[in-house]
Amino acid sequence: MRWRGLVIALALLAVLLPIPTPSAQAQGPSGLAEADLVPVLVEVEAMLAERPHARDEAWRTLSQPRLPRIAPDPGSPDHARVTFAWRGGPETTSVRLDSVINVAQARQPVTDYRADFTLPLTRIEGSDIWVLTLSVPRDVAAVYSFLVEDGAGLQRWSDPANPSRLGGVDGESLLRLDRAPSAGIHRPLAFDAVIEPQGLEIASAALNRSVQVSIYRSPEAADDAPLLILYDAFLWGQRAPASDLLARLAERGDIPPSHLVLIDQLDGASANQAYADQAVFVAEELLPALRREAGLAPRRETTLLAGASRRGLSATLTALARPDLIGGVISLSGSFYWAPEGEDAEWARRQLDRAPANPPRFHLAAGRLETVLTSTNRGHVMLDTNTAMAEALAAQGYPARLTVFPGGHDIAGWRSALADGLTALLGEPTPVD
């Protein structure tokens, strides 16, 4: 049977095992240690060894009832064996897994992302099935994709055998283990309940460009209801719709009905100004435009600014610069290792002054898997630098909290951390100006 052209339509996940030391254990036909194979993979390998042409049957055996295949990890009750697999074609030369769960096996420091961080799948001998088994904490939720190299070059694919994935075109596949945070608040709203955004274009002098803003007005909220301003319209508008999340949290009674504003992107050039231009944009251009053009009347104490990675850093710096307008910050894996050129790492926490009389509140979140050394963070890993920033804020009198979520630097962990931050900042009484 010819598989050319079908590579992108098929995928498989089998069973999970910690990667063993090859010399210490006998190897099965796939190159995996025989003692660590779960029964379904033993069955598949035996089937292919006896009947090399039974590839379709082997694939069906692996892919039922659904993928990825998850099994207990006998060596660690707090982990599960998760097996990823891809069905290749005659020209497939390599398949690699790209996911934050790779961190335990990554080669550090990561200087070449593909070579150092993504992990290779192993082709089962004599077949077109590629597999990789990892031991993953059972409370983790993460996204993943495959990097497949064949005659067409290197391409990235989500897992077509996994129905769980992010929104948007080519959304990444989702892995969610049994102890992960509840996924209920991330369910899409019914079609007739979806809030359609109002577009607003702001000619920004501060950023020297036209900024596209999307405004999601809750039909149940007053003009002065809580307002979440969130960086990255693609991430939070398509991949993990924040408007749906706000509605779910309000429906559950965790927060009051709230409005959402998505800023299109964070300008890369803002780093050259230590993100001071973003503070000017938010304070002097965005908030006045929301009042003038959208009829919103946000109160300072329930105006929140949020973002992930560099956007979390920028949101924090903006609130520190304009505590008169921003009442709270949700920083998701904030890039607090960052420093302007020529400065030592972790510059932001060294700029802190004593908190004003009515300071903004800070909800910082970082992933338990964010321990990767890279050429960018220069050894100042996300988990450590977020911890240090939260401690520095608290030492200066800011209400600051760090939460560590069971995941890494990706949207699967961030969306649950965002929900936690919203509940923490809006689901309890807040001080009034």
Report d(CA 231, CA 103) in Å as an integer: 26
CA 190 – CA 212 distance, rounded (Å): 26
Other residues' Cβ atoms within 10 Å of the Cβ of residue 429: 6
The predicted pLDDT at position 432 comes to 41
pLDDT in tens, 214-272: 999 999 999 999 999 999 999 999 999 999 999 999 999 999 999 999 999 999 999 99
Beta bridge partners of 150: 153
Token couple for 134: 């990892």
Buried b (16+ CB within 10 A) or exposed e, 218-251: beebeeebbbbbbbbbebbbebbbbbbbbbbbbe
Decide if 135 contacts 128 (C-beta within 8 A): no
Predicted local confidence at residue 26, as pLDDT:
43
Largest CA distance in the chain: 76
Question: What's the whole-model pTM score?
Answer: 0.89
pLDDT value for 168: 74
CATH class of 7-180: mainly beta
Cis peptide before 109 (omega within 30 of 0): yes
Distance of CA 336 to the CA centre of its chain: 17
3-state DSSP of the chain: CCCCCCHHHCEECCECCCCCCHHHCCECCCCCEHHHCCHHHHHHHHHHHHCCCCHHHHHHHHHCCCCCEEEECCCCCCEEEEEEEEECCCCCCEEEEEEHHHHHHCCCCECCHHHHHCEECEECCCCCEEEEEEEEECCCEEEEEEEEEECCEEEEECCCCCCCECCCCCCCEEEECCCCCCCHHHCCCCHHHCCCCEEEEEEECCCCEEEEEEEECCCCCCCCCCEEEEECHHHHHHHCCHHHHHHHHHHHCCCCCCEEEEECCCCHHHHHHCCHHHHHHHHHHHHHHHHHHHCCCCCHHHEEEEEECHHHHHHHHHHHHCCCCCCEEEEECCCCCCCCCCCCCCHHHHCCCCCCCCCCEEEEEEECCCCCCECCCCCCCHHHHHHHHHHHHHHCCCCEEEEEECCCCCHHHHHHHHHHHHHHHHCCCCCCC
Contact 86, 123 (CB under 8 A): no
Return the pLDDT at 30: 41
Q: Where are the domains of the chain?
A: 7-180, 185-426
Which residues on neighbouring strands pair with residue 141, listed in sequence order? Answer: 176
Residues of the chain scoring pLDDT < 70: 1-38, 169, 428-433
Predicted local distance difference test score (pLDDT) of residue 37 = 63
Compute CA distances 69 → 77, 85, 132, whole Å.
17, 9, 11
Quickly name the fold that domain 185-426 has: Rossmann fold (3.40.50)
